[in-house]
Amino acid sequence: MGKNLALGCLVAPIVGLLLCGFWAAGAYNRLDASEQGVDAAWEQVDSVYQRRAELVPNLVETVRGAASYEKSTMEAVVAARASAMQVKLDASSRKDPQAFARFQKAQDGLSSALSRLLVTVEKDPDLKATQKFRVLQAQLEGTENRIAVERGRFDETVQAYNSLRKSLPTVIVASFAGFRERPCFQAAPGSDRAPAARF
């Protein structure tokens, strides 16, 4: 009976360690799969931002060809596109909240500049009537919609990952394995207020 007790005392910790090891491996795999989902969602966001960046030169040239446009507005679009193209996020900088915020600021700057350009174009009925401009405008609007959709999907994926990362007891594995919290897109300042109507 003493041998059985000794054997049981030896086997119980080994079984306990094995169970903890299996649990830790499972938690790591869930975290890794969730983080890969975040990276895949990011690739979709990056793709639609790249599509928009490719449309901008054609839009600028089309508007430049018009008889009247505001030079300062056009220069703002060109500068905003250049800024947005310079701020890139690689795999490690996507995890850095400050780098992510710089990326979002540059992209939001381009969105704002494009909005101002389209408002300026509204004043030029001849330009609005050209087939090339209408096609570009439709492509740009479609791209902006896709950006909003992909950003929303990305944020949902990041929130699921961050929740998994913070859940007990998975947070223990996340801390030891280096799974860091991932930043989401933030609403642009003032987007929570409706525009003022002026008559």
pLDDT digits (tens, 9 = 90+) for 50-101: 999 999 998 888 887 765 567 788 889 999 999 999 999 998 899 999 999 9
156 inside domain: yes
**Cis preceding linkage at 97, omega within 30:** no
Q: Quote the pLDDT of residue 63.
A: 81
Tokens of 55: 């449309």
State which residues form the domain around 138.
Answer: 27-177
In 10 A of CB 32, how many CB atoms?
12
Query: Does 81 fall in a domain?
Result: yes
The answer to whether 182 touches 94, Cβ cutoff 8 Å, is yes
pLDDT of residue 74: 84
Rounded Cα distance between 81 and 148, Å, is 18
CA Rg value for the chain = 26
**Weakly modelled stretches of the chain, pLDDT under 50:** 194-199
Number of domains the chain is built from: 1
Residue 3 lies in a domain: no
| Assigned domain for 15 exists | no
Enumerate the H helices of the chain as residue ranges. 2-64, 71-86, 97-122, 125-129, 131-166, 170-177
Q: Does 188 fall in a domain?
A: no
Q: Give the residue among 160, 164, 158, 157 at the shortest CA–CA distance from 29.
A: 164
What is residue 87's three-state secondary structure? coil
Distance between CA 15 and CA 77 in Å, rounded? 64
Listed in sequence order, the residues at least 6 apart from 192 whose beta carbon sits closer than 8 Å to its beta carbon are: none
The reply to whether 105 falls in a domain is yes
CB 79 within 8 A of CB 137: no
- Write down the pTM of the prediction: 0.84
Asked whether residue 40 is assigned to any structural domain, the reply reads yes
Tokens of 15: 């079984």
Residue 73 phi, psi (nearest 5): -65, -45
Q: Is residue 100 part of a domain?
A: yes
Read off the CATH number of the domain in which 156 is found.
1.20.1440.20
The two structure tokens encoding residue 60: 């600028």
